[in-house]
Amino acid sequence: MTEQKIVKRLGKTSIVPPHGSEALKPLLLEGEELNQALANAKNLPQIILSSRERGDLIMLGIGGFTPLDGFMNQADWQGVVDEMTLKSGSNKGLFWPIPITLSTSKEQADTLAPGDEVALVAEDGEIMGVITVEETYTIDKAHECQQVFTTTDEEHPGVKQVMEQGEVNVAGSVKVFSQGEFPTLYPEIYKTPTETRALFEEKNWQTVAAFQTRNPMHRSHEYLAKIAIEICDGVMIHSLLGALKPGDIPAEVRQEAIKTLIDNYFKKDTVIQAGYPLDMRYAGPREALLHALFRQNYGCSHLIVGRDHAGVGDYYGPFDAQAIFDEIDKDAMLTQPLKIDWTFWCNGCQAMASTKTCPHDADQHVKVSGTKLRKALSEDQEVPENFSRPEVLQILREYYAGIAKEERAEVHLVGASAQ
């Protein structure tokens, strides 16, 4: 759907409405209602949340998963896994690409009955919310993985998460008490859908493209965002703040690098830097759909989808995440993909380009793999000057130098203890 069609559909003064709802549906309690619920929750049985479930709960709390009212029941799980469609209640028939579920042990599930209240507790002991049990059910984990991740290989980090979760899923509506550490750790960038919508209204942005990232931005990412700025009123660079796989760059380093890039290389008031509380699932195409869906709740009309969106390893083709948008109903959600080809600096063009626009051979293109970049930065080797901005490279060099120093110190301690 084009920008013009979206504006016409929404009206000239509106931003995109939430998914499946006229208004956001945040489930986060406040004030005296929160105090009373928290006091009551201290006397309830507890389910310990995984990191992924905790992030999902916070998204339910802030309205990021509008219109869901809690963790999915068996009918919705089955419908989402097999058909990407909710199958029960007032949301029956609504598009949803990835199951949002809560699990526990069979022993605990056997003690639960419909109507029971259970406290939802983070691994650090914080009571994050309460679920009112609708039902408990078992699932075929391998089937979920094959459908959602297109693999059952437990080397895939998303598959590993599912295979290691509890034996039984617990469904029910939730009340959310906390947004965790995110508002405190990232006060300048962590934003709820209510807050981003208010920002877009304030700026009079009716069409907004989200740029999803779990990495610092190099020149290709910068180019993608600037293409979107040419098309839309503005861009929200929206970074994942939850857990990543080992070896990925931590959120605080990424945020510093992105802020530096925005401050030095983007026109003022064309970009908003923001963050959200989910863990990566690395579900490739299906996760791209989820990224578009919850960006609709944040108020974005478009999602930039480039090469290997939300992928990991060699599990997905480089543009599978673009192709999947052509496989769903065009009215499944309002937020639409901005599909952009592989981008790079071309020495022949002497400019940023893509495989769609550049006439030169691949040996003219400056491309650096993540593994090669990490090795170069950690060993203080040269990185092609047209791959990344120098201010960003400096931040990353300092981070990798710190890691190398820690590793040398550990080797020294191990060596000393062995003597």
Residues 6+ apart with CB under 8 A from 35: none
Tell me the pLDDT band of 1, cut-offs 50, 70 and 90: very low
Q: How crowded is residue 181: how many other Cβ atoms within 10 Å of its Cβ?
A: 14
Instruction: Say if residue 409's pLDDT is above 70.
Output: no
Tell me the pLDDT band of 406, cut-offs 50, 70 and 90: low
Q: What is the pLDDT of residue 412?
A: 43
Tell me the pLDDT band of 184, cut-offs 50, 70 and 90: very high
Taking residues 306-319, report their average pLDDT.
93
Both structure tokens of 51: 């990191």
- In a 13 Å sphere around the CA of 253, the CA atoms on its Cβ side amount to 19
Lowest mean pLDDT among 166-175, 289-298, 306-315, 400-409: 400-409
Q: What is the pTM of this model?
A: 0.92
Instruction: Say if residue 110's pLDDT is above 90.
Output: yes
214 among known catalytic residues: yes
Both structure tokens of 117: 């209240």
Residues 6+ apart with CB under 8 A from 45: 108, 111, 112, 116, 118, 119
Report the chain's mean pLDDT, rounded to a whole number.
92
pLDDT digits (tens, 9 = 90+) for 246-284: 777 888 999 999 999 999 999 999 999 999 999 999 999
Cβ proximity of 98 and 24 under 8 Å: no
Instruction: Say if residue 19's pLDDT is above 50.
Output: yes
Instruction: Say if residue 70's pLDDT is above 60.
Output: yes
pLDDT digits (tens, 9 = 90+) for 186-242: 999 999 999 999 999 999 999 999 999 988 899 999 999 999 999 999 999 999 999
Q: Give Dmax over CA atoms of the chain in angstroms.
A: 75
Q: What is the pLDDT of residue 4?
A: 40
CA distance 353 to 220: 9
- Candidates 91, 214, 254, 389; catalytic one: 214
215 among known catalytic residues: yes
pLDDT digits (tens, 9 = 90+) for 145-161: 999 999 999 999 999 99
Report residue 334 CA to chain centroid gap.
Answer: 18
Tell me the pLDDT band of 81, cut-offs 50, 70 and 90: very high
Taking residues 28-36, report their average pLDDT.
98
Helix H segments across 131-181? 141-149, 157-164
CA distance 300 to 282: 22
- Candidates 35, 204, 215, 219; catalytic one: 215
Taking residues 295-318, report their average pLDDT.
95
Of residues 80, 86, 242, the one with CA closest to residue 161: 242
Q: Quote the Cα angle for 297-200-129, to 5°.
A: 40
Query: Coil, helix or strand for 146?
Result: helix
Q: Which residues pair with 271 in a beta bridge?
A: 235
First to last CA, the chain: 68
β 271-276/234-240 pair status: parallel
Instruction: Say if residue 9's pLDDT is above 70.
Output: no
Tell me the pLDDT band of 141, cut-offs 50, 70 and 90: very high
Q: Buried b vs exposed e over 95-126: b needs ≥16 C-beta within 10 Å?
A: bbbbbbbbbbeeebbeebeeebbbbbbbeeee
pLDDT digits (tens, 9 = 90+) for 341-379: 999 999 999 999 999 999 999 999 998 766 677 778 878
Tell me the pLDDT band of 24, cut-offs 50, 70 and 90: very high
CA distance 388 to 393: 7
Residue the block writes with tokens 């981003």: 196
